[in-house]
């Protein structure tokens, strides 16, 4: 079975590799399953398939499916996740073809992009059963309550699909949905996301509602695409094809919204754009309950489609690093080649998992001119969802952003606070950031931890980095090897 075929194909693939554990104890989706998923994730445990869901006979629940980057990379059949981003930037873009053969090769390379295009099919696997709104279908799905003070049950990984009312382009984002009752919910698309942009476009056109197809549970590539920050107006389902390595299949619902054909469950409904209702509280990925009750638009459900013996996939949030941190890292790796195309001076990037993705970015650059670090900060703060990053630390090319000790050394030794900090007081910000001063509004901090050029340092040369004499270094290295034979390293800072 192709590991990226659908959710159950992925689960079978994990099972064959002993990467998923079945849990038969009866557990409730209200607090119990989320608690187990979090604890397993914090303990370095595997993906889980829960087969005995309290009050939801006939369902299975899958969790922690984004177990590790390695598993995800293998499931997506690539040697490095960066290869996925590279698919979008064929080498032909950078090598002007000079011979006819090269021209033909370049055209072939561009043609290959077409295999990632989405296509419509007449029937989806989710269409095996239909529950109409009158029968309160949302009551029949084992949505999680993830934290005791959450405002209700939530769909925590719904792929919310809309068509932009202006261009018809397909949006697909994971925006949690708070369940109000059997046929109503609240869609938490934050103001900076494409769902909210579609809402603005629709309101400009005088529309009262937009049709949605909320797809639950799919293959890992499609699910990763739904959380990926693809700028409008690139079709989000095209990007799903890029991640999967082949086009995604869609089904047009009666309401006109496209659904993912291999989904386990699809909720067909309408988002009522002017009916804003309180959303939250919800214990989110910053490890806090959101500031209670921002207003978001109402979802009216018309019907729910589901496969026989459906599997519900839910993600859980809490203080990092949880499953969403793995997704964030995967997105970082996939987007690294794209960032490099826009900012070739960038050597490496690291969104540390504990930095909640939007909290902290460390980036190393090959510095060439005075003010270069601040140029890179400005560019990243102007670029799609990387603009939501609160704190950016820029280091020189020889400091690995993943080596936090080295980063601390660079910050400590190279930063003069008067000169090297950029503070933006009042800026758009991740809607959930607990430090925001108003809704989606906070500030930014940039730390230029690069070595300074004379122009940046009152004309003075930066001190020279110490370096060993190469002959002596080689001789001592051999001696060191002998001395260390059979010894582990000492943890010097442990009392
Ligand atoms: C588990 C999980 C839950 C998320 N919940 C939300 C949410 O409730 N609202 C939101 O705007 N973004 C949420 N996100 C982030 C978006 O999915 C992400 O920013 C994505 O790029 C949005 O798609 P868009 O750029 O097409 O709008 C969540 C991400 C994950 C991994």
The domain segmentation of the chain, as residue ranges, is: 82-313, 343-456
- 12 Cα: distance to centroid of ligand 1 (angstroms): 27
Q: Which atom of ligand 1 is nearest to the CA of 328?
A: 31
Pairing of strands 154-155, 177-181: antiparallel
Looking at residue 2, what is its pLDDT? Answer: 59
Locate 433 and state its tokens: 């950031």
Cis upstream peptide for 182 (omega within 30°): no
Whole-angstrom distance, CA of residue 147 vs CA of residue 287: 10
CA atoms within 13 A of residue 329's CA, in its CB half-sphere: 21
The CB of 175 under 6 Å from ligand 1? The reply is: yes
The CB of 335 under 6 Å from ligand 1? The reply is: no
Segment holding 69, helix H or strand E: helix 69-75
Atom 20 of ligand 1, residue of closest alpha carbon: 227
Probe target for ligand 1 pocket from 154, 173, 189, with the most ligand atoms within 8 Å of CB:
173
Segment holding 466, helix H or strand E: none
Looking at residue 110, what is its pLDDT? Answer: 76
Q: Could you give the percent of the chain with pLDDT greater than 70?
A: 98
**Superfamily grouping for domain 82-313:** Electron Transport, Fmn-binding Protein; Chain A (2.30.110.10)
Q: Report if pTM > 0.75.
A: yes
The CB of 324 under 6 Å from ligand 1? The reply is: yes
Looking at residue 1, what is its pLDDT? Answer: 43
Q: Which residues contact 28 (CB under 8 A, 6 or more apart)?
A: 53, 54, 55
The CB of 387 under 6 Å from ligand 1? The reply is: no
Q: Which residues contact 146 (CB under 8 A, 6 or more apart)?
A: 31, 34, 154, 156, 282, 283, 316, 317, 318
Whole-angstrom distance, CA of residue 214 vs CA of residue 203: 21
| Dihedral-angle region of residue 396 (phi above 0 means left; psi in -120 to 50 means alpha; beta otherwise) | beta
Probe target for ligand 1 pocket from 227, 280, 286, 335, with the most ligand atoms within 8 Å of CB:
227
Looking at residue 30, what is its pLDDT? Answer: 98
Which residues are annotated as catalytic? Answer: 284
Whole-angstrom distance, CA of residue 367 vs CA of residue 351: 20
The string of pLDDT tens digits covering residues 321-365 is: 999 999 999 999 999 999 999 999 999 999 999 999 999 999 999
| Dihedral-angle region of residue 381 (phi above 0 means left; psi in -120 to 50 means alpha; beta otherwise) | alpha
Q: Which residues contact 219 (CB under 8 A, 6 or more apart)?
A: 3, 4, 5, 6, 7, 9, 10, 244, 262
The string of pLDDT tens digits covering residues 27-45 is: 999 999 999 999 999 999 9
Locate 408 and state its tokens: 């601390």
Q: Which atom of ligand 1 is nearest to the CA of 431?
A: 11
Atom 25 of ligand 1, residue of closest alpha carbon: 229
- 174 Cα: distance to centroid of ligand 1 (angstroms): 4
With contact defined as beta carbons under 8 Å apart, do 242 and 87 qualify? yes
Q: Which atom of ligand 1 is nearest to the CA of 189?
A: 11
Looking at residue 390, what is its pLDDT? Answer: 98
Residues of the chain with pLDDT under 70: 1-3, 92-94, 97, 292
Where b means 16+ CB within 10 Å and e means fewer, 159-173 reads bbbbbbbeeebbbbb
With contact defined as beta carbons under 8 Å apart, do 72 and 81 qualify? yes
The CB of 294 under 6 Å from ligand 1? The reply is: no
Q: Which fold has domain 343-456?
A: UbiD C-terminal domain-like (3.40.1670)
């Amino acid at each position: 079975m192709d590991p990226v075929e659908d959710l159950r194909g992925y689960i079978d693939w994990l099972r064959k590799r002993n990467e998923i554990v079945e849990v038969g104890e009866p557990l409730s989706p209200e607090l119990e399953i989320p608690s187990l998923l979090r604890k397993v994730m914090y303990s370095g445990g595997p993906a889980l398939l829960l087969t005995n869901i309290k009050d939801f006979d006939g369902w299975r629940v899958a969790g922690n499916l984004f177990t590790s980057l390695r598993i995800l990379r293998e499931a997506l059949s690539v040697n490095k996740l960066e290869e996925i981003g590279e698919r979008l930037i064929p080498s032909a873009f950078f090598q002007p073809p000079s011979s006819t053969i090269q021209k033909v090769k370049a055209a072939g390379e561009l043609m290959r992009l077409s295999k990632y295009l989405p296509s419509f099919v007449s029937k989806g696997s989710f269409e095996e059963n239909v529950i109409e709104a009158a029968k309160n279908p949302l009551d029949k799905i084992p949505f999680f309550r993830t934290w005791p003070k959450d405002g209700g049950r939530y769909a925590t990984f719904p792929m919310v699909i809309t068509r932009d009312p202006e261009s018809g382009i397909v949006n697909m984002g994971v925006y949690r949905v708070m369940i109000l009752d059997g046929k109503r919910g609240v869609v938490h698309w934050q103001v900076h996301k494409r769902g909210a942009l579609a809402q603005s476009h629709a309101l400009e056109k005088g529309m009262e509602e937009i049709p949605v197809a909320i797809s639950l549970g799919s293959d890992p590539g499609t699910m990763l695409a739904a959380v990926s920050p693809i700028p409008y107006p690139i079709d989000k389902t095209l990007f799903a094809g890029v991640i999967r390595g082949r086009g995604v299949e869609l089904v047009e619902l009666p309401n006109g919204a496209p659904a993912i054909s291999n989904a386990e469950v699809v909720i067909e409904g309408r988002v009522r754009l002017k009916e804003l209702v309180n959303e939250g509280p919800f214990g989110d990925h910053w490890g806090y309950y959101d500031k209670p009750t921002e207003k978001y638009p109402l979802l009216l459900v018309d019907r729910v489609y589901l496969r026989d013996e459906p599997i519900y996939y839910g993600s859980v949030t809490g203080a990092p690093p949880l499953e969403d941190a793995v997704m964030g890292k995967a997105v970082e790796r996939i987007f690294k080649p794209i960032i490099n195309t826009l900012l070739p001076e960038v050597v490496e990037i690291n969104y540390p998992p504990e930095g909640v993705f939007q909290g902290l970015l460390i980036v190393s650059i090959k510095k060439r001119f005075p003010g270069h670090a601040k140029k890179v900060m400005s560019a990243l703060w102007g670029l799609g969802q990387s603009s939501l990053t609160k704190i950016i630390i820029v280091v020189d090319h020889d400091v690995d952003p993943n080596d936090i000790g080295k980063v601390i050394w660079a910050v400590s030794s190279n930063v003069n606070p008067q000169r090297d900090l950029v503070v933006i007081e009042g800026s758009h910000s991740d809607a959930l950031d607990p430090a925001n001063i108003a809704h989606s509004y906070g500030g930014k901090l940039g730390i230029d931890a690069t070595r300074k050029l004379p122009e940046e340092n009152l004309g003075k040369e930066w001190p020279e980095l110490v370096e060993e004499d190469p002959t002596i270094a080689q001789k001592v290295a051999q001696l060191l090897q002998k001395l260390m034979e059979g010894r582990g390293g000492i943890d010097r800072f442990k009392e």
